[in-house]
Amino acid sequence: MAETLLLTRTDVVRLLDQQALHTALREAFIAYSLRRSVAAQRFVVPLPATAPAGSNGMLLAPGLIDGIPAYSVKVHAKFPAQKPAIKGVLALHDLQTGDLLALMDSTYLTAMRTGIAGALGTDALARPDAGTIAIIGAGAQGELQLRALAAIRRLEQVVVYDTYHAAAVAFCTKLGPALDLPMRAEADLRKAVLAGDIVITATWAAAPFIDAAMLRPGTHVTTLGPDQPGKAEVAADALRAGLFVCDDPDLALSMGALGGVGLGRDAIHAELGEVLAGHKPGRPHARAITIFGSVGLAFQDLAAGWLVYQRARTEGVGTTVNFAQ
């Protein structure tokens, strides 16, 4: 059995290049939609009642995409009250031998690939002149979504809402100077949503809080919270009023933005990979409402993990072990 490379969170942060990941994920979404060999799978591991409210385990398998000679399996824990709320490991296996090539911390990797995947969907569907961003949920993922989008689009101003207003204020205080953007915390959810040309929601919400009446013509919404059954951010009437694009249809229905509000497959316009490849149109006109619903797919972890592994080998980073000894 080949040796396994162990990579800590510090290693992953050092090795994962944002621009390289952006390119890799764009290619991976297209490959998944056009040349899919294995459907995306996610399995929630329920924890006993003694565990903190909202906590669960999650297994994402398999991460497999055309062009990468490996597959990945990620096991992580979701504990909303903890910082970070998501933590775990990614196992990277050789596709031909099954050898465990690497075992790496998945916390930063998961956050980065989610942020960039959201930015890809937002950029593909939002109006080219959309300059005001509304961030709903002033947490770590809200920050990464904003940073990833700012890296590929010219933004004009940001409005931030959180159920804990102090968190929104702190978000603006930290990121306004860092991104050189005018930012303000808004205490009223409806006003925050109405202000945005682009609305990005990254919350733990169990019930939808954005309805059709809150969305101006031309608005784009990226909804990231619904990634397991029992979560929802955008109401059914808003989803029906807009053009809805997902990362995976089956997961959007079983545990994503559609499943959370009882909508069916007829609500799906396209997969993100189909839009990125030009096989299906994105935004039809400037006044259209567009919505990207991202559940998060295992191949995103593979794309990120493979970049980390390849660079680690080149630069001699990490510790090797032989689990067969």
Strand 100-105, strand 86-94: pairing = antiparallel
Active site residue 227: yes
Bridge partner residues of 269 (DSSP): none
Residue of 123, 227, 248, 301 marked active site: 227
Q: Can you say whether the dihedral through the CA atoms of 22, 168, 76, 32 is positive or negative?
A: negative
Q: What are the residue ranges of helices labelled H in the chain?
A: 9-15, 18-34, 107-125, 140-150, 165-179, 189-195, 236-241, 249-254, 272-276, 298-315
DSSP 209-236: -B-GGG--TT-EEEE-S--STT---B-H
- Helices 165-179 and 140-150 sit at what angle, rounded to 10 degrees? 30
Q: Collect all residues with Cβ–Cβ distance below 8 Å to 250 and sequence separation of at least 6.
A: 39, 40
**Could you count the other beta carbons within 10 Å of the beta carbon of residue 278?**
9
- Helices 140-150 and 107-125 sit at what angle, rounded to 10 degrees? 50
**Could you count the other beta carbons within 10 Å of the beta carbon of residue 217?**
10
Task: Answer for the pair 302, 72: CB distance below 8 angstroms, yes or no.
Answer: yes
Backbone angles phi, psi at 274, to 5 degrees: -70, -35
Task: Answer for the pair 61, 41: CB distance below 8 angstroms, yes or no.
Answer: yes
Sheet holding 220-223, edge to edge: 183-185, 157-161, 132-136, 198-201, 220-223, 290-293, 243-246, 268-271
CA 79 to chain centre: 17
Which residue numbers are catalytic? 227
